[in-house]
Amino acid sequence: MSEPILPPIGMLAELTHRCPLQCPYCSNPLELLKANRELDTQTWLDLFSQAADLGVLQVHLSGGEPTLRRDLEQLISGLSARGVYTNLITAGINIAEGRIEAFAEAGLDHLQLSFQGARPATTDRIGNHSGSHEKKLSTARRARAAGLPLTINAPIHRHNIEEVPEFIDLALSLGAERLEIANVQYAGWALANRDWLMPERAAVDRQAEIVAAAQERLAGVINIDFVPPDYFAIYPKPCMGGWARDAFMVTPDGTVLPCHAAQTIPSLRFERFGARSLADIWTDSPAFNAFRGTEWMQEPCRSCERREIDWGGCRCQAMAIARDAAATDPVCIKSPIHARMAMFIDETQRSAANTAADEAFVYRRIGVVTEPA
């Protein structure tokens, strides 16, 4: 591989797969890890120390629900001591009084709070948890009172896409610095629920117009980031900035991955932290090197003028749809099977029209494994 391997700057740490919500769009794998398989406190601290040595500047603490870790304050403090920026990604449910303040005192830099809907009924239905919306509002207010910068994350799909204007109003009312309108990407539980999550094309177009207008109207007031839905695109996004280019993730049991869904590629074997150092995994792992740079690319990617813009797109999406992790991401208009994306959209609309969502959803639960259709 001719391209130099640069140090990573970002890391996603999935501290646990446990979560009080059961969102059917979750990107966690269908086979969720139980608490007895999670890394202990000292191992996470050792991993974070090696990440800082490697060059990581920011760590996103996620799950599942990371606040279920009783040692979260200690983990935040360890990262803060190394000068690493920390972002806590939380559902904001059942966080004990005083704990958000404790996160801030430990050195937390930012809190990212997910809302399943802008309306209470939507939030409670999608998360399959009664009263969750009010608890999230309380978490947002407590975070702001503790002086923490706040991002509201809105995972968008068929059942809340018409609430986008209300998400914007919600973020403004809570004093958020940032709103992420993030269309659901189909991996893990979201892939299993794709038929009932995929929005209609007209709704996607309306959403894009609403977001663009809000970004212009609210410039300097709130930062609105927009993650468009892959299936409706003509060019793919660079997966995690490009496979193992500047970021990686770690699962609750310490498995180090280039991206969320990398374990769905059956030809690759991923290593766990501890058996080898983080630096060795980053630079020498065959799985990490499998799709780095451009030399692995097939045509039309190999000769495409966008090959160092999108880096071939998502390898896991290529695996899921083309059944070949080295294929051009089918989202790309240059893919020989790009037309299949429109077929998926049409098929999901027919499926959704014939089945009530509450009956069709495979809600995320530990111990429940359902293969996607």
Instruction: Please identify which residue in the block is written with the tokens 């799950």.
Output: 63
Q: Running DSSP on this structure, what letter comes out for residue 31?
A: S
Residue 227 CB contacts under 8 Å (≥ 6 apart), including other chains: 180, 181, 182, 183, 185, 237
Q: Running DSSP on this structure, what letter comes out for residue 7?
A: P
Cα separation of 51 and 43, whole Å?
12
Concatenate the DSSP letters of all residues of 307-329 into one string: TTTTTTS-HHHHHHHHS-TTSPP
Peptide bond before 274: cis, by omega within 30 degrees of 0?
no
Cα separation of 158 and 200, whole Å?
7
Name beta bridge partners: 112.
Answer: 89, 151
259 is in an annotated binding site: no
19 is in an annotated binding site: yes
* Among the listed residues 322, 334, 346, the one whose alpha carbon sits nearest the alpha carbon of residue 234: 334
Cα separation of 58 and 10, whole Å?
5
For the purposes of burial, counting CB atoms within 10 Å of the CB of 316, is it exposed (0-12), middle (13-18) or buried (19 or more)?
Answer: buried
Contact 113, 21 (CB under 8 A): no
23 is in an annotated binding site: yes
Sequence ranges of the binding site for [4Fe-4S] cluster: 19, 23, 26
Could you list the residues known to form a binding site, using ranges. Answer: 19, 23, 26
